Structure 1
Amino acid sequence: MTPLPRVGLGGGPLGNYLHPVSDAQAEAVMDTAWEAGIRYFDTAPFYGLGLSEQRMGRALRGRPRSEFVLSTKVGRLVRPGPGDNGGFAVPGDRHVEWDFTRDGVLRSVSESLDRLGLDHVDILFIHDPDRHWPQALDEAYPALAELRSQGVARWIGVGMNQSPMLVDFVKHTDLDLLLAANQATLLRRTAFDELLPLCLDRGIPVIAASLLHRGVLAADRPPGDAPDAAHELAAACARHEVPLLAAALQFPLRHPAVSTVLVGAHAPEHVTTDLRALNHPITPALWDEIA
């Protein structure tokens, strides 16, 4: 597959994750990302129960389609009525339902394209199938492979917060790439044991996401209730005069299997700060100390 950019914008915050973002602010985030050169954008029906897809689609509709890469996900359908909102600050008039059946996947993709206002996406991920392994393997994966062959998506993969099942998917399917969330970070390095070496051996690029542990690693002084390891990492970065954010965002890219990191932004200045951190020089001595 074509190499992905080194950095992409994650769509969770644009779905009002943890706190609301106005439409104008979401548009400003997208505009700032585009002007800064970001050309990979990741979203999902789950993010804001459709809101993130709507906002990203609206911002990208006027951009040249050949100039950006867009990914979304399958596994949750947005349905009317109250229910679980997944921590997103959105009205309680809709909820998500798990569905990894073939029909559910096809319905999910069709609804995503409607929300995005596009006729295709570049990447489709099976999203968080932790409790649905048989159905995801037997129905969702073949459906994505079919959509890939039809050109509805260029590449297919799986996105999860755990490594063991991602390893199983690599061993049992023909995936183009993976999204590993919260497992190739300074504080949680489970992907380095088996997943990343396996992906490197098989030529499967990995996108690393959820790198800051809900903001714990975003500032040079982690909150007082942060894990001891976070404070130790902050102290090491301070000794080497490196922002903790820079180390957190650059750390996954040290492994050759990781092609891309996703950053999230509730405000335009977050995009600028993250990109500056990604380009901050880091000495080998710091990496040696925190390894």
Structure 2
Amino acid sequence: MSLKEILPGRLGFGTAPLGNMFRAIPDEEAHATVEAAWSHGIRFYDTAPFYGAGLAETRLGEVLATKPRDTYVLSTKVGRVVLDEHETAARDLGEKGGLFEHGNPNKMVHEWTAEATERSVEDSLKRLGTDRLDMVWVHDIAQDFHGDEWLGKFEEARTGAFRVLSRLRDEGVIKAWGLGVNRTEPIELTLALDEPRPDGFLLAGRYTLLDHEHALTRLLPMAQAQNVDMVVGGPYSSGILAGGTHFEYRKAPAGIIERVDRLKALTARHGVSIKAAALQFSLAHPAAAAVIPGATRPSRIAEDTAALTETIPAAFWTDLRAAGLVGESAPLPDNA
């Protein structure tokens, strides 16, 4: 089943910030944000054990437990098993060190074997307080977390998580599975395999206004040829496109800030919000099934839903292309 057949709409909610990414968020604020997403009609929620060592799953589950299970789509990820014991040393998160330093203190085992995958799914069901998942992503088997060792992690997942999730899909336990990563190469490698076959993928930060050329050259043509859909994660590039200061989960470098300033000048000239430009650009590619910005404040949800339907003049997209701020082969919205 394709992701476009499963997903209830083009706007979902990404819960990484609810794991206390960058800052400690009160439970009340996290719950209010999920409730705001619900009240604005969002019915696709994505989470992961990694987000605050189970914190985001727990917070999301506490709200969704009050909603009819058949009315929303839920996805989580495998690759980290959250333990009861607490971490005493600094977490080794590759390029993402310190990302969830305000989350739960529990240790996490980074493992993609069959046994770890089955345990991860069971643990997520408990934290989420639900009896089933709709989609499961194989999380972070890529260079940003594992450097030169990423191919070994990929092979562990290929012979473990991929096969377990394929079986669960074939048995009807889940509707779909795929990869949830911040790099294109693991997805390309998966699409080149004879088996097992993913239904889609969650690509974070690699199909945005600030970074899309690499995905356009190889990954997305492969995905289209195989009818594999994409969920776009991180459409605001870790926040820099939504008024924040982070890019790639770290303080934005000068070159990125300069590019964002050019984008802001262009949106101001056309009376367009930069959030609207970011979301609508990411969704313009034919492979894109949904986009899942994250948030920690209820007011952000209203901004996201408004951005999705904001009218953007065709002249904006024309000028965006002329300024070299999007790739020549990047699809633009239909009105461009």
TM category, shorter: over 0.9
- More off after superposition, 239-248 vs 100-109: 239-248
1:242-257 → structure 2 map (5 Å cutoff): 242-257=272-287
CA contact (8 A) 1:220 1:243 kept: no
- Does the 8 A contact of 1:44 with 1:53 survive in 2? yes
Query: 1:275: Cα distance to partner?
Result: 1.1
2:45 counterpart SS class = strand
The answer to whether the Cα contact below 8 Å between 2:117 and 2:161 also exists between their aligned partners in 1 is yes
For residues 93-148 of structure 1, give each alpha carbon's deviation from its aligned partner in whole angstroms, at most 9, with x where no partner exists: 31222101100101111111111111110001000112111111111100111122
| Paired amino acid for 1:135 | E
1:224 Cα deviation from its structure 2 partner: 9.2
Correspondence for 1:161: 182
Report the residue type matching 2:113 in the other structure.
Answer: T
Counterpart in the other structure of 1:177: 200
Partner SS for 2:168: helix
Q: CA deviation at 1:235?
A: 1.5
1:269 counterpart residue number: 299
- 8 Å Cα contact 2:76/2:135 also seen in 1: yes
Residue 228 of structure 1 is aligned with which of 258, 262, 266? 258
Q: More displaced, 106-115 or 78-87?
A: 78-87
Which position in structure 1 is the counterpart of 2:145? none
Counterpart AA for 2:38 = W
- Which whole-Å CA distance do the structure 2 matches of 1:188 and 1:276 have between them? 23
Structure 2 residue runs of 5 or longer lacking an equivalent are: 143-149, 247-251, 321-325, 327-336
Deviations 1:56-95 (A, max 9, x none): 1111112111110000000111122214285224366312
Q: 1:13 to 1:221 in 2, by over 3 A?
A: closer
Shift in alpha-carbon separation, 1:257–1:227, aligned structure 2, 3 A = same
CA distance in structure 2 between the aligned counterparts of 1:138 and 1:209, rounded to whole angstroms: 26
Aligned counterparts of 1:221 and 1:20: Cα–Cα separation in 2? 17
Q: Distance in 1 between matches of 2:103 and 2:292?
A: 27
Aligned pairs for 1:18-33 within 5 A: 18-33=22-37
The farther-off stretch of 129-138 and 118-127 is 129-138
Name which of 48, 51, 58 aligns with 1:54.
Answer: 58
Q: Which runs of 5+ in 1 are unaligned?
A: none
3-state SS of the aligned residue for 1:193? helix
Q: Which amino acid aligns with 1:42?
A: D
Structure 1 residues 91 and 263: alpha-carbon distance in aligned structure 2, compared to 1, 3 A threshold: closer
Q: How many residues align?
A: 291
The change in CA–CA distance for 1:280 and 1:102 in structure 2 (over 3 A counts) is same
Q: 1:160 is matched by which residue type in structure 2?
A: V
CA deviation vs aligned residue, 1:246-266 (integer Å, no higher than 9, x gap): 111211111111010001111
Deviation (angstroms), 1:221? 11
Alpha-carbon contact 2:52-2:104 (below 8 Å) kept: no
Contact 2:205 / 2:238 at 8 angstroms: preserved in 1?
Answer: no
- How much identity, in percent, do the aligned residues show? 36
What SS class does the counterpart of residue 206 from structure 1 fall into?
strand
